[in-house]
Amino acid sequence: MEPFVSQYVGLLGAGVDEVGRGPLAGDVVAAAVILDPEQPIVGLNDSKKLTEKRRESLFVEIQAKAKSFCVARASVAEIDDINILQASLLAMKRAVEGLDIAPEHVWVDGNKLPKWTFAAEAVVKGDSRVAAISAASILAKVVRDREMVAFDAIYPGYGFAGHKGYPTKVHMEAVDRLGVTAIHRTSFGPIRAKLEQMKLL
């Protein structure tokens, strides 16, 4: 993990991260985690840099060892209503507010902070630099990936289990062939264009 120095390291800190800003379908999911220094977790890293098997293993370990954790979300309807950036910040706000221990400080992945009363610090590439953010990124990614696998059964033919809603060639060909589903984000360009083509907007 990259070196990270913060004047707030000694405080009871939470890490928060979101997953799912780029996909064309599904909720944006966030998680907040307060780690327990007395129960260290080996191998925490940016969830995207871990194998699925390793993420699943760490997912269980994080929940067993963390002082507190919470997974929250912003819905597809909220994404379309307030835009993906604001929905991501809202999901992170809900995750931190859902912790059963109030953190003294919050490290937020990225360069923007949600609107809240918590003392907080935005950390660019935080999921590779702050263990609590790494843990949050793992929880959020595993939860969201599992949901997209479940949607694959509800909406067969789209390949959600594989691309997880991202705008891959397989996904876009499926939208062209099968149309837009209830979990697609209609404010996103490719989906909006398809609906306009079908004269549904």
Residues in the chain: 201
Single-letter amino acid code for the residue at 101: I
Residue 51 CB coordination number (10 Å)? 8
Q: What is the pTM of this model?
A: 0.95
Amino acid of residue 184: H
- Please give the single-letter amino acid code of residue 23: P
Determine the residue type at 113.
L
Sheet holding 105-109, edge to edge: 68-74, 28-34, 13-19, 105-109, 120-123
Cα separation of 81 and 60, whole Å?
34
**Are the C-beta atoms of residues 105 and 77 closer than 8 Å to each other?**
no
pLDDT digits (tens, 9 = 90+) for 57-71: 999 999 999 999 999
Residue 166 phi, psi dihedral angles, 5° rounding: -70, 155
What is the structure's pLDDT at 200? 60
Residue from 148, 146, 143 nearest 159 by CA: 148
By DSSP bridging, strand 120-123 and strand 68-74 are unpaired
In order along its 201 residues, the chain shows pLDDT tens digits of 778 889 888 899 999 999 999 999 999 999 999 999 999 999 999 898 999 999 999 999 999 999 999 999 999 999 999 999 999 999 999 999 999 999 999 999 999 999 999 999 999 999 999 999 999 999 999 999 999 999 999 999 999 999 999 999 999 999 999 999 999 999 999 999 999 988 765
| Helix residue ranges per DSSP H, the chain | 52-65, 76-82, 84-97, 131-154, 160-163, 169-178, 189-197
Bridge partners for 31 per DSSP: 17, 71
134-178 residue pLDDT tens: 999 999 999 999 999 999 999 999 999 999 999 999 999 999 999
